[in-house]
Amino acid sequence: MRHRKDETMTTCLIIDDAPVIRKIAFRLLSREGLSVDTLEKPAEAVEWIESHGAPNILLIGASAQDKTVVGDIKLLREQAGSGMHVIAMIVEANLGLMTRLKRAGVDSYLYKPFDRDALEASLRPHLQPEPAVA
């Protein structure tokens, strides 16, 4: 499921190993007018960013069992820069995991499973227009 990146559109990259999560998020975000792409593994995102540029928003699945996700997020954050907003999709409020994710560059969290309202609420702060500099 790929949409071409349009410079005027907000871009969102979804990374999750669960096909149903990628499919639901893709459908909901595409309906909101975002340019959306999905990947199964964070390792695929390095090449994606090299060829497409950094997305405005990165939604990435994370769990305490995944021992590489924190390192993956650090790498993607370094590659993409501070302009990319990172939202970690997690199943439970695990303080240790959330702290490590925050240190790696995660801006906020979205609990799985999510519905349209929860997804929109997590994205809203990152979709606001940048304040004009006088």
Q: Which of 105, 94, 93 is nearest to 42 (CA)?
A: 105
Taking only the tens of pLDDT, the chain with its 134 residues reads 444 444 567 899 999 999 999 999 999 999 888 899 999 999 899 999 999 999 999 999 999 888 899 999 999 999 988 889 999 999 999 999 999 999 999 999 999 999 889 998 998 888 755 555 55
Half-sphere exposure of 47 (CA within 13 A, CB side): 5
- Global pTM? 0.85
Q: 111 and 83 in contact (C-beta within 8 Å)?
A: no
Could you count the other beta carbons within 10 Å of the beta carbon of residue 91?
Answer: 14
> 129 φ, ψ to 5°?
-60, 145
Q: Where are the alpha helices (DSSP H) in 1-134?
A: 19-31, 43-52, 69-80, 95-104, 116-127
Q: Which domains does the chain have, with CATH numbers?
A: 11-120 (3.40.50.2300)
Q: Which of 28, 33, 19 is nearest to 122 (CA)?
A: 28
Q: Is 16 helix (H, G, I), strand (E, B) or coil?
A: coil
Between CA 24 and CA 44 the distance in angstroms is 20
